[in-house]
Amino acid sequence: MGHTDPLLCARNVRRVLGSADNANEVLKGVNLSIEREEYVSIVGASGSGKSTLLYLLGGLDRPTRAINGRTFDPPSTIFIDGQDTSTLNDAELALLRNEKVGFVFQFHYLLKEFTAQENVCLPMFKLGKLSREQAMDRGAQLLKQLGMGDKVKRRANRLSGGEQQRVAIARALANEPAALLADEPTGNLDKKNSELVADIFQEISERGQTIVIVTHDHAIAQRAQRMVTMEDGNVIRDEDLHSLSLPGRGPG
Amino acid sequence: MRWFIAFRYFFSHKRQSAVCIAGVTISVTMFIAMSAMMDGFQDKFVIETVESSGHITIKDEPRETRTPILERVYKQPEALLEVHRVKPREQVRKIDNPGGLLASLARMPGIVAAAPAVQGNVIATFGTKTLNLSINGIEPERQLRVTTIAGDVLEGSFDRLRTTADGIIVGKGVADLLGVKLDDSVLLAGSEGGRTTARVVGIFRTGVTPVDYSRGYMLLNDAQTLLNKKNINNEIVIRTDDYTRAQEYATQIEGMAGYRTESWQEANENFLKIFKIQDLMTYIITGTLLLVAAFGVLNILIMSVLERVNDIAILKSMGYSRTDITLVYLFQGLVIGLIGATLGLGFGKLAIEGLRRIPITVEGLIHAEGLLMSEHASQYVKAFIVSNIIVLIAAVYPARRAAKYDPVEVIRGAH
């Protein structure tokens, strides 16, 4: 797994949800590559498959490998930092996720019994590279960088919605992930807090963090370097927002 | 990290956690207290029985019923034997050459002491009251080496028995039923026609009701005369170095002596069976309590899982595995079990001390002042381990259920 590989790569990715009688093909053979340090937004109507694609890119879900016993050619596969996720068992995939990916969701999903700092530390405790004290220091530092320095010790359920989402972003960045994947991170926030979160994404992207964001908010999507548009389980447009539109750009 | 999350979850629902812990604590407390009470009763019975009656008794009878001589001669199963007017040969029942047997016993490893005795039943009469009495004719010096009956004497002494012609030491129950006191004279009538008036020179209480209400000790010679068993010993009472091995020694002695040799376990087989049923009842009662507590743990952990579906999803999204999630919930079960069982041991100990102080006279199979409580470290260990295992088993289902949640389904459900 060299650095010449794309950081995240979807190759002919299909995803069928539901049982055989009620199957819904959410993704219909998506090809997409995310390079290092890219800031990519994925847009599309509800049900177009953008969130499903994000979960697959982050190893939170697995692509459908076959329908009615028929496999696909080429196989429906996700690569994370060059690693074919289909070769990993659930525990190995969880470890890869822990090390390489940070997720931010529409709802912050903070653990309410824990302080802001402890929530940020949870991925670091799992990775185990830092001692407890080092992890707590880094957690406090990340919160400080996101303007939460004075609320480090506050219980998660005593923070405002915007603050909770900032803690969730800090948590996603805790293990210095290769990719930060955000699913409608501003969907539950007011305009002011949405702007603040968008600014944070912009700032960390400028520091070289790879970001993939799924959003309905066109203004936020436009802040990315690249915008992928999905419709009915397919990528219909892949635009470099700083130059030309490249329809159907795939892993090559 | 898993402990960290488990502890935080555990302490976030203090009331529910306290209820779970209380359930485990109560069942462990009950087990400790009930076991101590049962063991106290059983230990008292066993110790007093063993100490007052000896570990092993050689009887003057063969182990097997003798096969009639004709059946021994005509072994063919098809043979039709019809014998009329069979008159068994009259034999004087006794232990032959008791001196030789005592000498052999003295050489056996594990045998501490042995004492010859004669035993038989008489009718005791005092005034208008009569009572069946089991007379043990003994040699006091030897008898006191095989039993601790001297320590159970309430009034009088075995020294007086030695120096008093036709003296008798009776159980407290016998004395109460007959209404006799020290130095009263009791009329004794043996089944073979012997009669004597014996002076009460001692009253003992072993605490074992069947003994205290039926036994009397006389000098060997006096008893032999009364029972019409002149120069006859029909029992040899033995003390071993370990009463728990009495059955093993009894088997060896029977092989050597050729007489039926009864260990205290065999003599009290029915009581020991009742004790086993008592133990079973204790296990059933406390086990039921523990099961109820375990269902409480199961219920509360399931509620906790349902309440924290989002937490589980986000933990999985950040790389926590199914094993991690399973352990978070198992650890909560373990914390409940450890705290509950530890408190249960403490409260159990307190309950034992409290019960000991209840001023109550126990009358039944045994006599005792106050509840008899017997503590064994093994009961504490057993209660601690079993309660933790059961609570841990109760935590398995919620833990597995938590681990099974698909984070994507949970997150999609929230949209």
Could A106 and B415 be called an inter-chain contact, meaning their C-beta atoms sit closer than 8 Å? yes
pLDDT at A244 over 70: no
For the segment B284-305, the average pLDDT, to the nearest whole number, is: 89
Q: How distant is the Cα of A182 from the closest Cα of chain B, in angstroms?
A: 12
Tens digit of each residue's pLDDT (9 = 90 or more) over A26-73: 999 999 999 999 999 999 998 899 999 999 999 999 999 888 778 888
Give pLDDT, residue A245.
Answer: 45
Using a CB-CB cut-off of 8 Å, the residues of chain A touching B311 are 109, 111
Give pLDDT, residue B400.
Answer: 92
Q: How distant is the Cα of A14 from the closest Cα of chain B, in angstroms?
A: 16
For the segment A227-247, the average pLDDT, to the nearest whole number, is: 81
CB distance A107 to A148 below 8 Å = no
Using a CB-CB cut-off of 8 Å, the residues of chain A touching B412 are 51
Please state whether the peptide bond connecting residue B62 to the residue before it is cis, i.e. omega within 30 degrees of 0.
Answer: no
Could A106 and B414 be called an inter-chain contact, meaning their C-beta atoms sit closer than 8 Å? yes
pLDDT at A20 over 60: yes
Q: How distant is the Cα of B293 from the closest Cα of chain A, in angstroms?
A: 26
Distances (CA, A) of B285 to A28, B268, B288: 62, 26, 5
Give the chain A residue whose CA is nearest to the CA of B314: A109
A247 in any annotated domain: no
Q: How distant is the Cα of A97 from the closest Cα of chain B, in angstroms?
A: 5
For the segment A111-135, the average pLDDT, to the nearest whole number, is: 92
Report the alpha-carbon distance of residue A107 to residue A164 in Å, rounded: 9
Using a CB-CB cut-off of 8 Å, the residues of chain A touching B313 are 109
> Token pair of A87, please?
């070769």
Q: How distant is the Cα of A223 from the closest Cα of chain B, in angstroms?
A: 24
Q: CATH number of the domain that A208 lies in?
A: 3.40.50.300
Tens digit of each residue's pLDDT (9 = 90 or more) over B141-160: 998 899 988 889 999 999 99
Tens digit of each residue's pLDDT (9 = 90 or more) over B57-96: 999 887 666 666 666 666 676 777 777 776 766 666 788 8
3-class SS letters over chain A: CCCCCCCEEEEEEEEEECCCCCCEEEEEEEEEEECCCCEEEEEECCCCCHHHHHHHHCCCCCCCCEECCEECCCCCEEEECCEEHHHCCHHHHHHHHHHHEEEECCCCCCCCCCEHHHHHHHHHHHHCCCCHHHHHHHHHHHHHHCCCHHHCCCEHHHCCHHHHHHHHHHHHHCCCCCEEEEECCCCCCCHHHHHHHHHHHHHHHHCCCEEEEECCCHHHHHCCCEEEEEECCEEEEEEECCCCECCCCCCC
Could B311 and A127 be called an inter-chain contact, meaning their C-beta atoms sit closer than 8 Å? no
Distances (CA, A) of A185 to A25, A51, A106, A166, B294: 25, 12, 5, 10, 42
Using a CB-CB cut-off of 8 Å, the residues of chain B touching A107 are 310, 414
pLDDT confidence of A1, banded at 50, 70, 90? very low
Q: How distant is the Cα of B301 from the closest Cα of chain A, in angstroms?
A: 16
Name which of A51, A109, A125 is nearest B314 (Cβ-Cβ).
A109
Using a CB-CB cut-off of 8 Å, the residues of chain A touching B408 are 55, 60-61
pLDDT confidence of B125, banded at 50, 70, 90? very high
Higher pLDDT, B308 or B79: B308
Using a CB-CB cut-off of 8 Å, the residues of chain B touching A92 are none
- In this structure, the strands spanning A226-231 and A210-214 are unpaired
Using a CB-CB cut-off of 8 Å, the residues of chain B touching A114 are 8
* Domains: count for chain A: 1
Could A122 and B315 be called an inter-chain contact, meaning their C-beta atoms sit closer than 8 Å? yes
A184 in any annotated domain: yes
Report the alpha-carbon distance of residue B351 to residue B306 in Å, rounded: 38
Name which of B8, B313, B323 is nearest A91 (Cβ-Cβ).
B323
For the segment B304-320, the average pLDDT, to the nearest whole number, is: 91
Q: Out of B9-13, B118-122, B171-175, pick the least confident.
A: B9-13
Report the alpha-carbon distance of residue B300 to residue B397 in Å, rounded: 12
Using a CB-CB cut-off of 8 Å, the residues of chain B touching A113 are 8-9, 11-12
CB distance A124 to A174 below 8 Å = yes
Chain A interface, best mutation among B317, B324, B412, by max A CB count within 10 A: B317
Give the chain A residue whose CA is nearest to the CA of B9: A113
Report the alpha-carbon distance of residue A79 to residue A69 in Å, rounded: 23
Chain B interface, best mutation among A60, A61, A134, by max B CB count within 10 A: A60
Q: Which residues of A touch B (CB under 8 A)?
A: 51, 55, 58, 60-61, 90-91, 94-99, 102-103, 105-107, 109-111, 113-114, 122-123, 125-128, 171-172, 183-184
Predicted TM-score (pTM) of the model is 0.75
Tens digit of each residue's pLDDT (9 = 90 or more) over B221-254: 999 999 998 888 889 999 999 998 999 999 999 9
A235 in any annotated domain: yes
Give pLDDT, residue A44.
Answer: 93
Tens digit of each residue's pLDDT (9 = 90 or more) over B375-414: 999 999 999 999 999 999 999 999 999 999 999 888 887 5
Distances (CA, A) of A146 to A116, A194, A199, B389: 12, 14, 10, 46
Chain A interface, best mutation among B318, B321, B332, B409, by max A CB count within 10 A: B318
For the segment B190-206, the average pLDDT, to the nearest whole number, is: 91
A248 in any annotated domain: no
Could A94 and B310 be called an inter-chain contact, meaning their C-beta atoms sit closer than 8 Å? no
Could A99 and B319 be called an inter-chain contact, meaning their C-beta atoms sit closer than 8 Å? yes
Count other C-beta atoms under 10 Å from residue B257's C-beta: 18
Q: How distant is the Cα of A64 from the closest Cα of chain B, in angstroms?
A: 14
At B329 the three-state DSSP class reads helix
Domain range for A228 is: 8-240
A59 in any annotated domain: yes
Tens digit of each residue's pLDDT (9 = 90 or more) over A188-227: 788 888 888 889 889 889 989 999 999 988 889 999 999 9
Give pLDDT, residue B88.
Answer: 66
Chain B interface, best mutation among A50, A53, A111, by max B CB count within 10 A: A111
Tens digit of each residue's pLDDT (9 = 90 or more) over A70-115: 888 889 999 999 999 999 999 999 999 999 999 998 887 899 889 9
Report the alpha-carbon distance of residue A181 to residue A210 in Å, rounded: 9
DSSP one-letter code for B263: E
Give pLDDT, residue A251.
Answer: 42
A35 in any annotated domain: yes
Q: How distant is the Cα of B33 from the closest Cα of chain A, in angstroms?
A: 38
